[in-house]
């Protein structure tokens, strides 16, 4: 079935809610993990009902940028994106800190409905998110994909919520640092929207 993508809007809330379900996509996250400054007690207070209310408010105000994927009119996937400062928790992860992060946009999170993983949904979401970043004026976009677990096993789809490395590589992203190797930071340079391609 063809996968279609659409940028989230204030009228999209019911589709987001339908996709995320009663568990809030993953353990009551409601796409707030990277939006809070730290974990621990703050995250315990945030996840669940408060996180859902926060995302609903952010979508209504146009503060949460995201892409929804649909199959036959049914929402089957989501990813979020935006200027890196919108995701302050990134600065808490040593592997993702960069002195040249100013101006970068981030694609930090994906959620694919069970039954739709491994069917190209994440790849379609990533491409749509890159296009949306470019349209918004971004010239540098980065991601934080999963590779394998510390003991070398593949990460299960339910826990690959930053996206698999292969879709970023296929989308033209390059690894700029990988310390530790299980947490690579990948980046892609974008031409401004409407700019002519560079001559070779």
Residue 140, domain member (yes or no): yes
Q: What is the pLDDT of residues 111-161, one digit of tens each?
A: 999 999 989 999 999 999 999 999 999 999 999 998 865 666 666 655 678
Written as six digits, the tokens of 173 are: 């992203």
Say how many C-beta atoms besides its own lie within 10 A of residue 59's C-beta.
22
* 199 located within any domain: no
pLDDT digit string, tens, across residues 33-78: 999 987 788 889 999 999 999 999 999 999 999 999 999 999 999 9
Radius of gyration of the chain, Cα coordinates, nearest whole angstrom: 16
Count Cβ atoms below 10 Å from residue 100 Cβ, excluding itself.
9
Assigned domain for 82 exists = yes
Q: Above 50 in pLDDT, residue 18?
A: yes
CA distance 52 to 135: 28
Count how many domains the chain has. Answer: 1
The domain that holds 58 is classified in CATH as 3.40.630.30
* Dist CA 192 CA 64 (whole Å): 22
Spatial contact of 133 and 127, defined as CB atoms under 8 Å apart: no
- pLDDT range class, residue 200, cuts 50, 70, 90: very low
Residue numbers of the domain that contains 143: 3-189
pLDDT of res. 24: 93
pLDDT of amino acid 151: 65
**Which three-class secondary structure state does DSSP give residue 51?**
helix
Whether residue 194 lies inside any domain: the answer is no
pLDDT at 191: 81
Helix spans in 64-171 (H): 121-135, 165-170
pLDDT at 197 over 70: no
Residue of higher predicted confidence among 93 and 191: 93
Q: Of 74, 153, 166, which is closest to residue 120 (Cα–Cα)?
A: 166
């Amino acid at each position: 079935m063809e996968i279609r993508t659409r940028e989230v809007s204030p009228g999209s809330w019911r589709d987001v809610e339908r996709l995320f379900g009663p568990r809030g996509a993953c353990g009551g996250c409601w796409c707030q993990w990277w939006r809070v400054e730290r974990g621990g007690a703050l995250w315990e207070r945030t996840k669940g009902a408060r996180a859902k209310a926060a995302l609903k408010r952010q979508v209504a105000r146009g503060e949460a940028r995201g892409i929804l994927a649909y199959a036959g009119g049914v929402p089957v996937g989501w990813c979020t994106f935006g200027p890196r400062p919108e995701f302050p928790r990134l600065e808490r992860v040593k592997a993702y800190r960069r002195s040249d992060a100013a101006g970068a946009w981030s694609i930090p999170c994906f959620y694919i409905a069970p039954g739709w993983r491994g069917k190209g949904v994440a790849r379609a979401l990533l491409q749509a998110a890159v296009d949306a970043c470019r349209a918004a004026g971004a010239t540098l976009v980065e991601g934080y994909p999963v590779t394998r677990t510390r003991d070398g096993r593949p990460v299960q789809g339910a826990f690959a919520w930053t996206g698999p490395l292969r879709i970023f590589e296929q989308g033209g992203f390059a690894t700029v640092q990988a310390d530790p190797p299980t947490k690579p930071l990948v980046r892609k340079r974008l031409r401004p929207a409407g700019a002519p391609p560079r001559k070779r």
